[in-house]
Structure 1
């Protein structure tokens, strides 16, 4: 039986995502299609523009059979670690074929870059932008993720299947930009309109200005004295846009600043992440009968959580923090609720 897997954020879900899932079904005809989905916040440290329940439901409608969660702390990483944790989750679900969208979909060229990365050490605290020279200049953002997907798929014995992106379809980044600029978007009635950094920034600024820098330095992703830079920027800038512009540098990319700031809001210590450096877990967000049958076929003892209380204590703690933070600016309840499609 063929279990195909996709790593997704759906921030927000759009027609490019639907095209990807449809193409997988048409070309590979998998017995089950598993999507591992970021929960409250994205790898770039952005709040999700659609609620977790909405994203899950849309994924099932678009062709996913089983949707599993990647907790925010594991999601908010550089491309290499984001790929690693997501693939650990898919491996736990016995996925054998990893599928992904790519601007080039050139398997040989992507593989060449994977080979070049074999001797590069992985550091979850660094910005992916620092390693940009490792990649072909023709690569797009999805290609860079694809290289990391292929890297860890190889490590875990998964086959890979790149799918050429339809560049005529609007990206999630462009959708977010246009929406917050005031332009109506397709399905924007599903969007959580208050989920933007402008709303989170007052909380962040207070925390930066009132906290001991030594405590800030004890938090995950707070490395290389970045806490001092963030404190200085918070002292000067009262709005998010100017704070972010001042904080970004050749050393610290926009994504790095955003995810570090979100981790500070979640107050996750380095020691806790060091104690839980992997994510071999199935956190069920949604499923249809095929997905349910697939779960039942997994080996006895597979770590499956169909309810929040079945998660390990540390994941309950982390996801509670993330859910409460997200819920402060949510139009709907941020609770984790498994979506069942009949």
Structure 2
């Protein structure tokens, strides 16, 4: 089988994602399209509007053959680590290529960027003025870097301006009817989560907060000080600075709520957490049955069992969801 991977969030799912799936299959002529998707929580540290069950159902409906999960502890990361963990997981299935959307659609330019020469490592990539990269180009750059390690061919497709971004779709979802809105859990937002975070921060010492992943550089003191604010936006604005971006704060707060400790975080994720498949995806899984592929909760490494238990407990506090593996056959 020729295999192609897609890294996605689907927060929320929209027409641009259908285009991405179908265009990837057209360009690569792959036999099996594999999507790895963040599930409960996103790369920006946001609760997902769609459950992982619905993300899987939609991905399979519109052309994916196999859907994998990128657990919350690996999804809620900066672009570099998000890309690294996702590609490490896809590499278990020996994928041939990775197809991603890009505003520039100039893979040669993205491949030629030298990280050390153009980026200040103390700042995130958005804060480096020498690079005029847009969001998908930023991720694309990281995908290319990690594809090199596993000899995966990176393939870019043009990000179509006709399709709204997931960010714009999230904003519009509050005010207008959108495609796939029946799947939206609009209560999944930081306004809902903040009372729990605020209470936890006010009950914790800086030393206890410092044990959680991503809590460093004294951000714990900033969080505790800002927790006197009674609403999320005021808290967030009080924490944002030149050092701490909005996304960095959201990711760090999510790690605190999920109680993911620094000492437990693995540096790599060479495994596949299966969310759903069709007959083609099932055939691929059978071919790779000797690989670390997890289809049942009890087979997960203990750390990931804890991450899933905590993620699901937090997410379902605000939404009643259907959550089971999907076996789909479109034929």
TM-score by length of 2: 0.96
1:341 aligns with 2:328: yes
Secondary structure at the aligned position of 1:84 is classed as helix
Moved over 2 A (4+): 118-123, 126-135
Could you tell me which of 150, 159, 166 is aligned with 1:172? 166
Deviations, residues 55-82 of structure 1 (Å, cap 9, x unaligned): 0000001111000111000000000000
- 1:325 is aligned to 314
Whole-Å separation in 1 of the counterparts to 2:148 and 2:236: 36
Whole-Å separation in 1 of the counterparts to 2:297 and 2:176: 37
2:119/2:128 contact within 8 Å kept: no
* Deviation, structure 1 residue 88: 0.3
1:256 aligns with 2:248: yes
Could you tell me which of 219, 222, 238 is aligned with 2:215? 222
Deviations, residues 212-263 of structure 1 (Å, cap 9, x unaligned): 110001110000000100111112x100011111111111000000010011
Could you tell me which of 256, 261, 274 is aligned with 1:269? 261
* Deviation, structure 1 residue 177: 1.0
Deviations, residues 112-137 of structure 1 (Å, cap 9, x unaligned): 12xx02679998xx7634653452x1
Could you tell me which of 208, 224, 227 is aligned with 1:231? 224
Whole-Å separation in 1 of the counterparts to 2:44 and 2:90: 21
Whole-Å separation in 1 of the counterparts to 2:70 and 2:307: 12
- Calculate the aligned-residue CA RMSD, in Å: 1.7
Whole-Å separation in 2 of the counterparts to 1:174 and 1:149: 23
2:92/2:272 contact within 8 Å kept: yes
Whole-Å separation in 1 of the counterparts to 2:36 and 2:120: 22
1:310 aligns with 2:299: yes
Could you tell me which runs of 5 or more consecutive residues in structure 2 were left unpaired when the two chains were aligned.
Answer: none
Whole-Å separation in 1 of the counterparts to 2:117 and 2:72: 28
Seen in structure 2, the aligned counterparts of structure 1 residues 134 and 73 have a Cα distance that, compared at 3 Å, is farther
* Deviation, structure 1 residue 155: 1.4
1:290 aligns with 2:280: yes
Seen in structure 2, the aligned counterparts of structure 1 residues 142 and 248 have a Cα distance that, compared at 3 Å, is same
Whole-Å separation in 2 of the counterparts to 1:38 and 1:118: 29
Seen in structure 2, the aligned counterparts of structure 1 residues 84 and 122 have a Cα distance that, compared at 3 Å, is farther
Seen in structure 2, the aligned counterparts of structure 1 residues 64 and 74 have a Cα distance that, compared at 3 Å, is same
2:34/2:64 contact within 8 Å kept: yes
Whole-Å separation in 1 of the counterparts to 2:47 and 2:255: 12
- 1:301 is aligned to 290
- 1:155 is aligned to 149
Deviations, residues 160-218 of structure 1 (Å, cap 9, x unaligned): 110001111111100111223x2222221110121010000000000111111100011
Seen in structure 2, the aligned counterparts of structure 1 residues 127 and 296 have a Cα distance that, compared at 3 Å, is farther
Whole-Å separation in 2 of the counterparts to 1:122 and 1:5: 30
Could you tell me which runs of 5 or more consecutive residues in structure 1 were left unpaired when the two chains were aligned.
Answer: none
1:78/1:127 contact within 8 Å kept: no
Deviations, residues 298-320 of structure 1 (Å, cap 9, x unaligned): 2x530011111111111001111
- 2:65 is aligned to 65
Aligned length in residues: 329
Whole-Å separation in 1 of the counterparts to 2:62 and 2:123: 32
Secondary structure at the aligned position of 1:185 is classed as coil
- 1:185 is aligned to 178
